[in-house]
Amino acid sequence: MTQHLTQSPQFFLTAPSACPYLEGQFERKVFTHLVGNKAAEMNDLLTQGGFRRSQNIAYRPACETCRACVSVRILAQEFEVSRNMRRVLQQNRDLVSTMANAQPSTEQYSLFRTYLDARHRLGGMSDMTALDYAMMVEDTHVDTRIIEYRRRGPDSFITGKGEGELIAVALTDRMADGLSMVYSFFNPDMDERSLGTFMILDHIERTRAMGLPHVYLGYWVNGSRKMGYKMRFQPQEHLNPKGWERYQAR
């Protein structure tokens, strides 16, 4: 029997489950596998089409009665830092970010566990082991990087690296048109630093330096307070049935 291989991905649909963002709603996702030598190209196309990546899976909401999830990307080359964001940059002027290949470490996992226990104790990732974390970082067939944030050392201007404890981490995909923030976490005891905002600002600056247009933030969920922060990074585009369109927060 002759088997014909296809380059087209196969898509699957999950069963309904409780929505983690909107009470009383149920979510479904359509997903496909990102594997093989075309995975990076497919990840670019799917991300531009509203998908997100988790390990070797690309997924997108396919809810039957709700359209609250909206894909968001920042227009990095047009971005202007607000007064509040300048304060965040000033508060974190002692930090250095270093981008490297996506490799997990014990130090990263320790910070990851501290972050989950403080911020997402009842979330779907709350029981992740060190092996689960390693799989989250390493199980990728695309150009994935780890960005670590540490305090600036006396020789950082030479080495480009920070010193001391690990304060924040971002798992990021490098794409043809920018950077996609897959997952990030930070020291939950440093609220005054606004580390989540700082990491997004760092990604915007990195994208600008690369001469690329977009920072993909994933989904803004209309009606979810914990997703409201994404609206602060203007200008940005939202994906709707007509394609990507410029969005201006009111």
| pLDDT single digits (tens) 110-146 | 999 999 999 876 666 778 999 999 999 999 999 999 9
**Do 43 and 162 sit in the same domain of this protein?**
no
Residue labelled with tokens 């994404």: 230
Distance CA 224, CA 27 (A): 14
Nearest to 185 by CA among 75, 99, 108: 108
Helix, strand, or coil here: 83?
Answer: helix
What is the predicted pLDDT for the residue at 3?
A: 44
**Do 84 and 59 sit in the same domain of this protein?**
no
61, 219 in Cβ contact below 8 A? Answer: yes
* Strands 144-152 vs 95-101: parallel, antiparallel or unpaired: antiparallel
In a domain, 4, yes or no: no
**Do 83 and 194 sit in the same domain of this protein?**
yes
* Strands 69-75 vs 236-240: parallel, antiparallel or unpaired: antiparallel
**Do 98 and 23 sit in the same domain of this protein?**
no
In a domain, 26, yes or no: yes
- Nearest 5°: CA angle at 27, between 24 and 32? 170
Residue labelled with tokens 């990030």: 184
pLDDT tens digits for range 6-63? 467 899 999 999 998 899 999 999 999 999 999 999 999 999 999 999 999 999 999 9
**Do 152 and 231 sit in the same domain of this protein?**
yes
Distance CA 128, CA 38 (A): 29
Which pTM value belongs to this model? 0.91
Query: Domain range holding 134?
Result: 73-247
Q: Which residues of 135-164 are buried (b: 16+ CB within 10 A; e: fewer)?
A: ebbeebbbbbbbbbbbebeeebeeeeebee
In a domain, 140, yes or no: yes
Distance CA 122, CA 125 (A): 8
- The 3-class SS string of 8-39 reads CCCCEECCCEECCCCCCCEECEEEEECCCCCH
Nearest to 72 by CA among 235, 194, 196: 235
What is the predicted pLDDT for the residue at 159?
A: 62
In a domain, 1, yes or no: no
pLDDT tens digits for range 78-94? 999 999 999 999 999 99
Tokens of 57: 């899976």
